[in-house]
Amino acid sequence: MLEAVQLRISLFALAAVGCGSPWHAQMTSIAADHARAASCPTERVHVHEAPLKRWVGERVDSVPWVEPAAPPPAVTNDAERMALWQRDRDQQHADWETRRADHHPLTASDEVIFELDSCDDAQLWICGSSGHGGCVPIEQAFDAAGTLACPDGHAAERTGGTFACTARPAFNLASCVSACAPGAEEGACEDACGDAANAECRRDGFDQLRLCGRAAASR
């Protein structure tokens, strides 16, 4: 009973501190859920709104068509083989056209993201549209940590235990992969994009929240 009273007092204090924020109810709920799950006193659980948005869609630059290398004489001098080469080239071009038609620009969702620091952990939590609906640790909500960026689309860096916006455009894996030249070693190109995504993820401090492996798979 005493523990329950102490929990209510601690949560009331947290709500009072966050009353200036339109999200103080969500912040209080996040702190309470984490305090129970982590057996951490609520006065040691700190929650604040993060300068982050989940960007959905794909940021794709204008990637020009690159003709494949010319076939060798043994192919050009053989009408049947040349027809096969031309068919493959035309299919690559059609696939490129389809990719460009399917691309949509990145847009920021209206979900609200919070940073949490507690006894021995740090997490990002995400709440439903405009802060309404349930709130869960971000890794439970979607496989898209790599699409986390500032509201203006710039990268965010975690330093000193919190995120701050930078002047750098956020890295986007979908854009990187879409820029792989047709006819290139697609697997190798995608692997290189994944490595770049992981490097950016670690650079920006998302590894402190154990999110970088997820970022490589979903940026």
Distance, CA of 79 to CA of 1 (rounded, Å): 88
- The residue behind tokens 């053989």 is 78
Sheet containing 107-108: order of strands: 107-108, 53-56, 148-149
For residue 105, the number of C-alpha atoms closer than 13 Å in the C-beta half-sphere is 4
Q: Are 45 and 118 spatial neighbours (Cβ–Cβ below 8 Å)?
A: yes
Q: Which of 178, 156, 177 is nearest to 167 (CA)?
A: 156
Helix and strand tally (H, E) in the chain? 8, 9
Res 8: pLDDT: 40
Res 84: pLDDT: 94
For residue 142, the number of C-alpha atoms closer than 13 Å in the C-beta half-sphere is 18
Q: Are 197 and 111 spatial neighbours (Cβ–Cβ below 8 Å)?
A: no
Q: Give the pair of three-digit tokens for residue 167.
A: 């002047």
Distance, CA of 173 to CA of 58 (rounded, Å): 9
Give me the tens of pLDDT residue by residue for the chain, a chain 219 residues long: 434 433 443 444 444 344 556 788 888 888 988 888 889 998 899 998 888 887 765 544 445 677 888 999 999 999 999 999 999 999 988 887 776 666 556 667 778 889 998 888 888 888 876 545 578 888 776 554 447 888 888 888 988 778 889 998 888 777 777 777 666 565 788 788 888 888 888 888 888 888 876 443 343
Res 14: pLDDT: 46
E strands, the chain, in order: 46-49, 53-56, 107-108, 111-117, 122-129, 135-137, 148-149, 154-159, 162-169
Res 153: pLDDT: 82
DSSP characters over 2-34: HHHHHHHHHHHHHHHHGGGSTTHHHHHHHHHHH
Res 181: pLDDT: 66
Q: Give the pair of three-digit tokens for residue 99.
A: 């990719």
Distance, CA of 143 to CA of 32 (rounded, Å): 25
Res 101: pLDDT: 65
Res 113: pLDDT: 87
Q: Which of 134, 127, 128, 126 is nearest to 211 (CA)?
A: 126
Res 9: pLDDT: 36
Res 212: pLDDT: 79
Total length of the chain = 219
Q: What is the DSSP letter of 127?
A: E
Distance, CA of 32 to CA of 46 (rounded, Å): 11
